[in-house]
Protein backbone atom coordinates (compact mmCIF):
# COMPACT_ATOMS: atom_id res chain seq x y z
CA UNK A 1 0.00 0.00 0.00
CA UNK A 2 1.27 3.39 -0.96
CA UNK A 3 0.03 6.11 1.33
CA UNK A 4 -1.19 9.49 0.09
CA UNK A 5 -1.06 12.27 2.66
CA UNK A 6 -2.65 15.68 2.16
CA UNK A 7 -1.51 17.71 5.16
CA UNK A 8 -3.83 20.58 6.01
CA UNK A 9 -1.15 23.09 6.95
CA UNK A 10 2.62 23.59 7.05
CA UNK A 11 3.22 22.13 10.55
CA UNK A 12 1.31 19.00 9.47
CA UNK A 13 3.35 18.80 6.26
CA UNK A 14 6.61 19.11 8.19
CA UNK A 15 5.47 16.51 10.74
CA UNK A 16 4.66 14.14 7.86
CA UNK A 17 8.07 14.81 6.35
CA UNK A 18 9.78 14.07 9.69
CA UNK A 19 7.77 10.90 10.24
CA UNK A 20 8.22 9.60 6.68
CA UNK A 21 11.55 10.67 5.18
CA UNK A 22 11.02 8.09 2.42
CA UNK A 23 7.74 9.61 1.22
CA UNK A 24 7.90 11.89 -1.80
CA UNK A 25 6.69 15.47 -1.52
CA UNK A 26 4.72 16.30 -4.65
CA UNK A 27 3.64 19.78 -5.72
CA UNK A 28 2.47 20.04 -9.36
CA UNK A 29 3.72 16.56 -10.17
CA UNK A 30 5.01 17.65 -13.60
CA UNK A 31 8.51 16.38 -12.89
CA UNK A 32 7.64 13.65 -10.42
CA UNK A 33 4.96 11.90 -12.51
CA UNK A 34 7.26 11.71 -15.54
CA UNK A 35 10.16 10.40 -13.44
CA UNK A 36 7.99 7.80 -11.68
CA UNK A 37 6.33 6.49 -14.84
CA UNK A 38 6.53 2.71 -15.16
CA UNK A 39 8.11 2.44 -11.71
CA UNK A 40 6.77 0.69 -8.63
CA UNK A 41 4.46 2.88 -6.52
CA UNK A 42 6.31 5.08 -4.00
CA UNK A 43 6.08 4.18 -0.27
CA UNK A 44 3.97 7.30 0.03
CA UNK A 45 3.29 10.80 -1.28
CA UNK A 46 3.04 14.01 0.72
CA UNK A 47 0.82 16.27 -1.35
CA UNK A 48 1.79 19.94 -1.18
CA UNK A 49 -0.20 21.40 -4.08
CA UNK A 50 -2.49 24.22 -3.01
CA UNK A 51 -1.29 24.27 0.60
CA UNK A 52 -2.11 27.83 1.71
CA UNK A 53 1.15 28.56 3.56
CA UNK A 54 3.17 27.53 0.50
CA UNK A 55 1.13 29.30 -2.16
CA UNK A 56 1.01 32.84 -3.52
CA UNK A 57 3.05 36.03 -3.72
CA UNK A 58 3.30 38.47 -0.81
CA UNK A 59 5.07 41.82 -0.39
CA UNK A 60 8.19 42.17 1.72
CA UNK A 61 9.31 45.33 3.49
CA UNK A 62 11.60 47.26 1.18
CA UNK A 63 9.85 46.33 -2.05
CA UNK A 64 10.81 42.68 -2.42
CA UNK A 65 8.47 39.71 -2.64
CA UNK A 66 8.08 36.34 -1.00
CA UNK A 67 6.90 33.60 -3.36
CA UNK A 68 5.44 30.45 -1.80
CA UNK A 69 7.25 27.33 -3.03
CA UNK A 70 4.04 25.85 -4.45
CA UNK A 71 3.13 28.92 -6.49
CA UNK A 72 2.47 27.93 -10.10
CA UNK A 73 3.86 29.53 -13.22
CA UNK A 74 0.29 30.53 -14.13
CA UNK A 75 -0.03 32.46 -10.86
CA UNK A 76 3.37 34.12 -11.30
CA UNK A 77 2.48 35.12 -14.86
CA UNK A 78 -0.74 36.71 -13.61
CA UNK A 79 0.97 38.70 -10.85
CA UNK A 80 1.51 42.40 -11.51
CA UNK A 81 4.38 42.69 -8.98
CA UNK A 82 6.34 39.99 -10.76
CA UNK A 83 5.68 41.62 -14.13
CA UNK A 84 6.62 45.11 -12.93
CA UNK A 85 9.49 44.46 -10.54
CA UNK A 86 10.96 41.15 -11.72
CA UNK A 87 10.36 41.03 -15.50
CA UNK A 88 13.36 38.68 -15.73
CA UNK A 89 11.49 35.98 -13.82
CA UNK A 90 8.28 36.69 -15.73
CA UNK A 91 10.07 36.31 -19.08
CA UNK A 92 11.59 32.98 -18.05
CA UNK A 93 8.30 31.60 -16.67
CA UNK A 94 6.53 32.51 -19.89
CA UNK A 95 8.65 30.01 -21.77
CA UNK A 96 8.09 27.10 -19.41
CA UNK A 97 6.07 24.29 -20.94
CA UNK A 98 2.59 25.03 -22.27
CA UNK A 99 -0.67 26.08 -20.55
CA UNK A 100 -1.14 22.69 -18.86
CA UNK A 101 2.38 22.67 -17.39
CA UNK A 102 2.06 26.30 -16.29
CA UNK A 103 -1.20 25.50 -14.48
CA UNK A 104 0.49 22.86 -12.27
CA UNK A 105 4.26 23.34 -12.36
CA UNK A 106 5.62 25.25 -9.37
CA UNK A 107 8.67 27.35 -8.64
CA UNK A 108 9.62 25.14 -5.67
CA UNK A 109 9.40 22.06 -7.88
CA UNK A 110 11.72 23.64 -10.45
CA UNK A 111 14.22 24.48 -7.68
CA UNK A 112 13.99 21.03 -6.07
CA UNK A 113 14.46 19.19 -9.37
CA UNK A 114 17.38 21.54 -10.07
CA UNK A 115 17.85 20.48 -13.67
CA UNK A 116 20.80 22.28 -15.28
CA UNK A 117 18.23 23.51 -17.84
CA UNK A 118 15.55 24.59 -15.33
CA UNK A 119 14.25 27.89 -16.68
CA UNK A 120 13.54 29.74 -13.46
CA UNK A 121 16.92 29.00 -11.92
CA UNK A 122 19.18 31.57 -13.65
CA UNK A 123 16.70 34.40 -12.97
CA UNK A 124 16.46 33.45 -9.29
CA UNK A 125 20.24 33.38 -9.02
CA UNK A 126 20.69 36.71 -10.78
CA UNK A 127 17.97 38.28 -8.64
CA UNK A 128 19.80 37.25 -5.43
CA UNK A 129 17.04 34.90 -4.28
CA UNK A 130 16.99 33.56 -0.75
CA UNK A 131 15.52 30.09 -0.27
CA UNK A 132 13.46 29.60 2.87
CA UNK A 133 13.57 26.01 4.06
CA UNK A 134 11.76 24.49 7.03
CA UNK A 135 11.61 21.34 9.10
CA UNK A 136 9.76 20.60 12.33
CA UNK A 137 12.86 21.94 14.10
CA UNK A 138 12.53 25.40 12.56
CA UNK A 139 13.23 27.53 9.52
CA UNK A 140 16.51 28.48 7.85
CA UNK A 141 17.32 30.83 5.01
CA UNK A 142 19.98 30.08 2.43
CA UNK A 143 21.37 32.24 -0.36
CA UNK A 144 20.35 30.49 -3.57
CA UNK A 145 23.94 30.17 -4.76
CA UNK A 146 24.80 28.13 -1.62
CA UNK A 147 21.63 26.07 -1.99
CA UNK A 148 22.93 24.70 -5.32
CA UNK A 149 25.44 22.04 -4.34
CA UNK A 150 25.88 19.82 -7.40
CA UNK A 151 24.35 18.17 -10.40
CA UNK A 152 20.62 18.07 -9.57
CA UNK A 153 21.62 18.44 -5.92
CA UNK A 154 20.36 21.03 -3.46
CA UNK A 155 21.07 21.68 0.20
CA UNK A 156 17.86 20.09 1.47
CA UNK A 157 17.64 17.44 4.21
CA UNK A 158 15.20 14.53 4.11
CA UNK A 159 13.00 16.13 6.78
CA UNK A 160 12.91 19.57 5.15
CA UNK A 161 10.67 21.30 2.63
CA UNK A 162 11.27 24.38 0.53
CA UNK A 163 8.75 26.87 1.90
CA UNK A 164 9.35 30.07 -0.03
CA UNK A 165 11.64 32.06 -2.27
CA UNK A 166 12.39 35.65 -1.31
CA UNK A 167 13.50 38.19 -3.87
CA UNK A 168 14.90 41.51 -2.64
CA UNK A 169 13.88 44.62 -4.58
CA UNK A 170 16.26 45.26 -7.47
CA UNK A 171 18.24 48.52 -7.50
CA UNK A 172 16.21 51.40 -8.91
CA UNK A 173 16.74 51.56 -12.66
CA UNK A 174 18.40 48.13 -12.84
CA UNK A 175 18.23 46.45 -16.21
CA UNK A 176 17.04 42.84 -16.27
CA UNK A 177 17.73 40.60 -19.17
CA UNK A 178 16.72 37.01 -20.04
CA UNK A 179 18.01 35.04 -23.01
CA UNK A 180 17.66 31.40 -23.89
CA UNK A 181 19.34 29.91 -26.92
CA UNK A 182 18.27 26.55 -28.26
CA UNK A 183 15.15 24.52 -27.76
CA UNK A 184 14.15 22.30 -24.90
CA UNK A 185 14.03 19.24 -27.14
CA UNK A 186 17.59 19.82 -28.17
CA UNK A 187 18.60 20.73 -24.64
CA UNK A 188 21.49 18.28 -24.40
CA UNK A 189 23.38 20.04 -27.18
CA UNK A 190 22.37 23.59 -27.60
CA UNK A 191 20.56 25.19 -24.74
CA UNK A 192 22.27 28.05 -22.97
CA UNK A 193 20.46 30.41 -20.66
CA UNK A 194 21.54 33.74 -19.28
CA UNK A 195 19.88 35.90 -16.67
CA UNK A 196 21.53 39.21 -15.93
CA UNK A 197 20.80 42.21 -13.75
CA UNK A 198 22.86 45.39 -13.83
CA UNK A 199 22.67 49.07 -13.10
CA UNK A 200 24.84 51.97 -14.18
CA UNK A 201 26.08 54.86 -12.13
CA UNK A 202 27.57 57.83 -13.95
CA UNK A 203 27.96 55.83 -17.15
CA UNK A 204 29.77 52.96 -15.44
CA UNK A 205 28.53 49.54 -14.43
CA UNK A 206 27.99 49.95 -10.70
CA UNK A 207 26.80 46.41 -10.12
CA UNK A 208 26.14 43.41 -12.29
CA UNK A 209 25.00 39.86 -11.63
CA UNK A 210 25.16 37.24 -14.36
CA UNK A 211 23.74 33.73 -13.96
CA UNK A 212 24.18 31.04 -16.58
CA UNK A 213 22.24 27.82 -17.11
CA UNK A 214 23.41 24.71 -18.98
CA UNK A 215 27.10 25.60 -19.05
CA UNK A 216 28.03 23.58 -15.96
CA UNK A 217 26.64 20.80 -13.76
CA UNK A 218 24.46 23.38 -12.04
CA UNK A 219 23.25 26.93 -12.60
CA UNK A 220 26.20 29.25 -11.88
CA UNK A 221 27.03 32.89 -11.23
CA UNK A 222 29.75 34.21 -13.55
CA UNK A 223 31.57 36.00 -10.74
CA UNK A 224 34.92 36.63 -12.43
CA UNK A 225 33.07 38.02 -15.44
CA UNK A 226 31.05 40.30 -13.17
CA UNK A 227 34.28 41.50 -11.50
CA UNK A 228 35.80 42.22 -14.90
CA UNK A 229 32.84 44.43 -15.75
CA UNK A 230 32.19 46.25 -12.49
CA UNK A 231 33.40 49.82 -12.68
CA UNK A 232 33.74 49.87 -16.48
CA UNK A 233 31.75 51.74 -19.05
CA UNK A 234 29.69 49.26 -21.12
CA UNK A 235 31.97 49.26 -24.18
CA UNK A 236 33.32 46.73 -26.70
CA UNK A 237 36.53 46.80 -24.76
CA UNK A 238 34.76 45.86 -21.50
CA UNK A 239 32.87 43.14 -23.36
CA UNK A 240 36.18 41.73 -24.55
CA UNK A 241 37.54 41.58 -21.01
CA UNK A 242 34.32 39.93 -19.88
CA UNK A 243 34.75 37.32 -22.57
CA UNK A 244 38.21 36.41 -21.39
CA UNK A 245 37.07 36.23 -17.79
CA UNK A 246 34.20 33.96 -18.81
CA UNK A 247 36.60 31.61 -20.65
CA UNK A 248 38.62 31.41 -17.45
CA UNK A 249 35.78 30.58 -15.12
CA UNK A 250 33.63 28.15 -17.09
CA UNK A 251 35.35 24.81 -17.49
CA UNK A 252 34.36 22.66 -20.42
CA UNK A 253 33.53 19.06 -19.52
CA UNK A 254 36.12 16.75 -21.09
CA UNK A 255 34.00 14.17 -22.82
CA UNK A 256 31.63 16.81 -24.09
CA UNK A 257 34.31 19.11 -25.42
CA UNK A 258 32.72 20.24 -28.63
CA UNK A 259 29.40 20.81 -26.90
CA UNK A 260 31.13 22.71 -24.13
CA UNK A 261 33.02 24.86 -26.65
CA UNK A 262 29.80 25.62 -28.44
CA UNK A 263 28.04 26.56 -25.23
CA UNK A 264 30.88 28.74 -24.12
CA UNK A 265 30.74 30.56 -27.45
CA UNK A 266 27.02 31.15 -27.06
CA UNK A 267 27.47 32.32 -23.46
CA UNK A 268 30.17 34.79 -24.57
CA UNK A 269 27.88 36.26 -27.17
CA UNK A 270 25.03 36.57 -24.70
CA UNK A 271 27.22 38.41 -22.19
CA UNK A 272 28.63 40.68 -24.89
CA UNK A 273 25.19 41.63 -26.15
CA UNK A 274 23.96 42.35 -22.63
CA UNK A 275 26.96 44.58 -21.89
CA UNK A 276 26.53 46.52 -25.11
CA UNK A 277 22.81 46.96 -24.44
CA UNK A 278 23.46 48.77 -21.15
Partner 1 sequence: MNIEVTINGESRSIETEGHRRLLDVLREELGLVGTKEGCGEGECGACTVLMDGEPVNSCLVPVGQIQGTQLTTIEGMAGSDGLHIIQDTLVRYGGAQCGICTPGVALCAKWAVEKEPGASKERLRELLAGNICRCTGYQAIVDAVVAAQNSSESSHE
Ligand X SMILES: Cc1cc2nc3c(=O)[nH]c(=O)nc-3n(C[C@H](O)[C@H](O)[C@H](O)COP(=O)(O)OP(=O)(O)OC[C@H]3O[C@@H](n4cnc5c(N)ncnc54)[C@H](O)[C@@H]3O)c2cc1C
Query: Using CA atoms, how far apart are residues 212 and 22, in angstroms rounded to an integer?
Result: 33
Alpha-carbon torsion (149, 144, 227, 225), positive or negative: positive
Q: Chain-centre distance of CA 9, in angstroms?
A: 25
Minimum distance from CB of 115 to partner 1 (Å)? 14
Residues 197-225 as b or e (16 or more Cβ within 10 Å = b): bbbbeeeebebbbbbbbbbbebbbbbebb
Note whether 29 binds ligand X by CB under 6 A.
yes
Query: Using CA atoms, how far apart are residues 172 and 45, in angstroms rounded to an integer?
Result: 43
Query: Using CA atoms, how far apart are residues 135 and 199, in angstroms rounded to an integer?
Result: 37
Q: Is-contact 36 77, C-beta < 8 A?
A: no
DSSP calls for 22-83: TSEEESS-TTHHHHTTTSPPPSEEEE-TT-GGGSSEEE-TTS-EEEETT-BHHHHHT-HHHH
Size, binding site for ligand X by CB under 6 A? 28
Note whether 106 binds ligand X by CB under 6 A.
yes
Number of other CB atoms surrounding residue 109 within 10 Å: 26
Contacts (CB under 8 A) with partner 1, residues 65-124:
74, 97-101, 103-104
Contacts (CB under 6 A) with ligand X, residues 55-84:
69
Please say which residue, 37 or 236, places its beta carbon nearer to partner 1: 37
Minimum distance from CB of 179 to ligand X (Å)? 15
**Segment near ligand X (CB under 6 A), from 1-9, 30-38, 219-227, 249-257?**
30-38
Please say which residue, 65 or 161, places its beta carbon nearer to ligand X: 161
Please say which residue, 32 or 229, places its beta carbon nearer to ligand X: 32
Note whether 58 binds partner 1 by CB under 8 A.
no
**Segment near ligand X (CB under 6 A), from 20-28, 78-86, 201-209, 215-223?**
20-28
Minimum distance from CB of 6 to partner 1 (Å)? 6
Note whether 1 binds partner 1 by CB under 8 A.
yes
Query: Using CA atoms, how far apart are residues 223 and 211, in angstroms rounded to an integer?
Result: 9
Note whether 232 binds partner 1 by CB under 8 A.
no
Which residues contact partner 1 by CB under 8 A? 1-4, 6, 26, 28-30, 33-34, 36-37, 41-42, 45, 47, 49, 74, 97-101, 103-104
Which residues contact ligand X by CB under 6 A? 24-32, 34, 48, 69, 96-97, 101, 104-106, 108-110, 112-113, 118-119, 161-162, 184
Amino acid sequence: MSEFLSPKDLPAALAARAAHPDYIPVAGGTDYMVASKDRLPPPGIINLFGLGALTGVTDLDGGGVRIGACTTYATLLGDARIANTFPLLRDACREVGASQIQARGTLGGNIATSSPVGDSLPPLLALDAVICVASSAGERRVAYEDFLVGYRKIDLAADELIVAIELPAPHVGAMQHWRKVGTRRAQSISKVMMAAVAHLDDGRIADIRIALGAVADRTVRARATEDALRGSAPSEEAAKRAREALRGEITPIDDLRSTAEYRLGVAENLVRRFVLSL
